[in-house]
């Protein structure tokens, strides 16, 4: 309780300082809009539906693309972990493409799919899939061999071994990789939305870009706040449960809370 209060006080003080800085008149209103204006913008955009609409558009793209990326990456990663040759070929390709910021796919995606949802999904998938492949591969390779041997003596083989031993045993790595994939997907989607217009719907990135077009920094900051909130929420909903499961089961890194 006390800690929450301290954190709250800190953020309130931060906003207070910000307001004071604006009032001091040292910065023009375009450079630094008052937090009140930001709140006003957020309120208005909430009421006229823009905020919810565009958040929904963005989230839909992100989730569909991400799930597709994971579903493609997971089996590929397991596959590459099984063979040295696949590791040297597909694995090397994944390693290379993972370093490519996936916003770089936008121009190709646009000529391949047009200014449509598919282009956005492609970009999100390119952000997710390589991280998932690499993490799954690495995870499956890092499993203490003793698990596999114990499972074998008990008669676990084939599919059973993969789904009941290899996959759960590599969970700690998987979650890390899936988190990274999420972070990259989120980043690439934002960049893509800011960069290009999509005929089928405007997302948060577009809203942010429009804030810039109007020189409306209150809108820019407002949308940034919404993006942060969605990011935190996603983390809380998508990954925290897994991480808590991992930490309680593996007994690792239990942070004093």
Partner 1 sequence: MQSPPIPREGALAKLVVENVSKRFTSQRAIVQALDGVSLTVAEGEFVCLIGPSGCGKSTLLDIMAGLTVADSGRVLADGRLVQGPGRQRLVMFQESALFPWLDAFGNVMFGLKLRDDLSQRERKEIAEHFLRLVGLEKFKHAHVHELSGGMKQRVALARALAPDPQVLLMDEPFASLDALTRDQLYDDIQHIWMESRKTIVFVTHNVREAVCLGDRVVLMSPSPGRIASIFDIALPRPRDINSPDLGDYTSRIAAALKNTLKEAVSE
Partner 2 sequence: PRAMAQSTTVRVGHFPNITHVQALVARAFERQGRNWFSERLGPGVKVEWYTYNAGPSAMEAIFANSLDVTYVGPNPALNAYARSRGDEIRVVAGAVNGGSALIVQPNSGLAKPADFRGKRIATPQFGNTQDVAARAWLVAGGLRITQTGGDAQVLPTSNPDQLSLFQSKQLDAVWTVEPWVSRLESEAGGQILVEEKNAITTVLVSSAAFLSKNRDLTQRFVSAHRELTEWILQNPEEAQRLARDELQASFRVDMAPELVARAWTRMIITPEVTLDAFKSFMTSAQQVGFMRGAPDLSRLVESP
Site for partner 2, rule CB under 8 A:
28-31, 40, 45, 48-50, 53-54, 57, 110-116, 196-197, 199, 202, 206-207, 209-210, 212-217
Q: Does 110 bind a second copy (CB under 8 A)?
A: yes
Query: Torsions phi, psi of 114, nearest 5?
Result: 75, 180
Give least dist CB 203 to a second copy, A: 12
Query: 86-90 long-range CB contacts below 8 Å, 24 or more apart?
Result: 87/137, 90/133
Structure tokens at 91: 């694995």
C-alpha torsion angle, residues 152, 153, 156, 161 (rounded to 10) = -30
Instruction: Check residue 111 and report its DSSP letter.
Output: H
For residues 19 and 48, which CB has a smaller minimum distance to partner 2 in the complex? 48
Half-sphere exposure of residue 168: CA atoms within 13 angstroms, side-chain side: 12
Q: Does 190 bind a second copy (CB under 8 A)?
A: yes
Q: Which of a second copy, partner 2, partner 1, none lies near 50, with the C-beta cut-off 5 to 8 A by kind? A: partner 2
For residues 48 and 157, which CB has a smaller minimum distance to partner 2 in the complex? 48
Give least dist CB 240 to partner 1, A: 18
Site track 2-41 with a second copy (rule: CB under 8 A), x = hit: -x--xx--xx--x---------------xx----------
Count of all residues that appear for the chain in the document: 257
- 203 contacts 54 by C-beta, under 8 angstroms: yes
For residues 159 and 237, which CB has a smaller minimum distance to a second copy in the complex? 237
Q: Does 199 bind a second copy (CB under 8 A)?
A: no
Rounded to the nearest angstrom, the gap between the alpha carbon of residue 156 and the centroid of all alpha carbons in its chain is 35
Q: Does 223 bind a second copy (CB under 8 A)?
A: yes
Q: Does 76 bind a second copy (CB under 8 A)?
A: no
**Helix/strand number for the chain, H first, E second:** 14, 0
Which helix H or strand E contains 76, and what residues bound it? helix 50-82
For residues 112 and 245, which CB has a smaller minimum distance to partner 2 in the complex? 112
Q: Does 247 bind a second copy (CB under 8 A)?
A: no
Q: Which of partner 2, a second copy, partner 1, none lies near 7, with the C-beta cut-off 5 to 8 A by kind? A: a second copy
Judged by CB under 8 A, the residue of 54, 58, 136, 188 near a second copy is: 188
Residue 139, helix vs strand vs coil: helix
CB atoms within 10 A of CB 157: 11
Q: Which of partner 1, a second copy, partner 2, none lies near 199, with the C-beta cut-off 5 to 8 A by kind? A: partner 2
């Amino acid at each position: 309780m006390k800690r929450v209060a301290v954190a709250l006080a800190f953020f309130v003080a931060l906003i207070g300082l910000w307001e004071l800085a604006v009032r001091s008149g040292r910065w023009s209103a375009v450079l630094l809009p008052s937090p009140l204006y930001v709140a006003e913008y957020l309120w208005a955009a909430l009421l006229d539906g823009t905020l919810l609409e565009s958040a929904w558009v963005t989230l839909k793209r992100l989730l569909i693309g991400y799930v597709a990326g994971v579903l493609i990456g997971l089996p590929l990663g397991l596959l590459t972990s099984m063979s040295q040759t696949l590791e040297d070929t597909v694995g090397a390709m994944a390693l290379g493409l993972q370093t490519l910021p996936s916003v770089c796919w936008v121009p190709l995606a646009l000529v391949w799919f047009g200014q449509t949802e598919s282009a956005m999904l492609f970009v999100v998938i390119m952000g997710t899939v390589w991280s998932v492949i690499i993490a799954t591969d690495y995870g499956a390779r890092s499993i203490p061999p003793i698990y596999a041997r114990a499972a074998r003596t008990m008669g676990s083989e084939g599919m059973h071994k993969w789904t009941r031993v290899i996959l759960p045993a590599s969970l700690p790595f998987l979650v890390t990789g899936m988190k990274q994939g999420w972070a990259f997907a989120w980043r690439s989607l934002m960049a893509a939305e800011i960069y290009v217009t999509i005929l089928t719907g405007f997302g948060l990135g577009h809203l942010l870009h429009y804030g810039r077009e109007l020189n409306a920094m209150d809108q820019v900051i407002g949308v940034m706040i919404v993006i942060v909130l969605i990011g935190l929420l996603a983390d809380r909903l998508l990954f925290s449960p897994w991480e808590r499961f991992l930490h309680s089961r593996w007994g690792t890194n239990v942070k004093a809370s």
